Amino acid sequence: MACFADIRSEDVNEFGGIGDRMSINRLKLGAAAAIAAGTVIPFAGAPADASTAAPQGHSLHVIKTLSSNFVGPLQFAVSGRNVYVADSFVSALFRIGRSTPLATGPDPSAGGDIAGVAVDHSGALAYASSNGDHSTTTLTILRHGKKPVVADLSGFEAKRNPDGAVHFGVHNPSTCVSDALKAADIPVSYTGTVDSHPYAVTSLGHGSWAVADAGGNDIVKVDRWGHPSLLSVLPSQPLKITAAFAKANNLPDCVVGVTYKFEPVPTDVEIGKHGRLYVTTLPGGPEDPSAGNRGSVYTVNPWSGHNRRIATGFAGATNLAIDRHGDVYVAELFTGTLSKVVCGKPKPVLSLPGLAAVEYANGHLYASTAPAVSGGNGPGTVVLLGH
């Protein structure tokens, strides 16, 4: 596994030895409609081929189902014996073993949700919520015996729009390319728009939190007083348009070979060794494997904001976990596969239909499933994994 060791050593050097739209709207309406908000880019992708299927020979299996009482448990957190679940489809936060929700979010029938949830070492709990049009998005921090702290993430996005200088679409398109994209109602060239959809959160320690904002294409820090600040803007995701892709979208030959830069759509953030952050991204539309497996994992230096891609090739990277050895596991939504990052690529270790999220705690990996996301049936679950 020398190549993975090399990646880690480079990351340590990168951090200077510092110590210890196509944006996702809601992963709830099936693979095709799962990822829409902000700028809607109606690319269809090319027909998927057999190479997108998950390889066999898995080394993990489900030991125990902890709960099957959910609809869309897209994010969850484990702290000791407590498992906190953000059931985004019903816009509520639960603790397994307790029937009533700990918190409820904006009206789910109008598109509201509760997404990210995390617990820190002091027992403080933080969760993210959004209303349907993303005009009000927040991170709520709950500490025992204290008033909740609510961070205004949509206000921060409206004021700063951190990806407002990032260019998406096609750079210097020809007249033919420009006319073709316009005719297909596809933005030709644009910069990041104001949009916020906080989708994942992790503790940074000392009462602070990192939030992956899938609408804003960035990672935002929220301190213990609820003040947001920018940690990092994720880079655009270029796709070179193939003949098959052009045909699937009824585009003329002049667009073949053109590079279209999509939005990065961060879907999870976790903290690893040396304080660096790990982030999963969907690749902008189409997020499914029809344009290839383009989900990625980035590291982010929380002090400088510098980010670097360390792995790619995931079929819908919606969540990740880091075990005690520093190994990174990624939930691949579109194949229902849990993969381990090996030499910068996915190595499948478990097939779990409807897989949405993965966490590491208590020496074990845990996972959640939301079959309805990819058009399946059955309840959403949280399960314990083992060898």
Q: Under a CB-based contact definition with an 8 Å cutoff, are residues 67 and 381 in contact?
A: yes
* d(C-alpha 354, C-alpha 72), whole Å: 10
Asked if 212 and 130 count as a contact pair (C-beta separation under 8 A), the reply is no
| Surface-to-core class of residue 16, CB atoms within 10 Å of its CB (0-12 exposed, 13-18 middle, 19+ buried) | exposed
pLDDT digit string (tens) for the chain, length 387 residues? 445 333 333 332 332 322 223 333 333 323 323 333 434 465 665 544 433 344 455 689 999 999 999 999 999 999 999 999 999 999 999 999 999 999 999 999 999 999 999 999 999 999 999 999 999 999 999 999 999 999 999 999 999 999 999 999 999 999 999 999 999 999 999 999 999 999 999 999 999 999 999 999 999 999 999 999 999 999 999 999 999 989 988 999 999 999 999 999 999 999 998 899 999 999 877 766 677 889 999 999 999 999 999 999 999 999 999 999 999 999 999 999 999 999 999 999 999 999 999 999 999 999 999 998 877 888 999 999 998
CATH (one of 3.20.20.140, 3.40.630.10, 3.30.930.10, 2.120.10.30) for 2-51+62-386: 2.120.10.30
pTM of the complete model: 0.88
Per-domain boundaries in the chain: 2-51+62-386
Taken as a whole, the chain contains a residue count of: 387
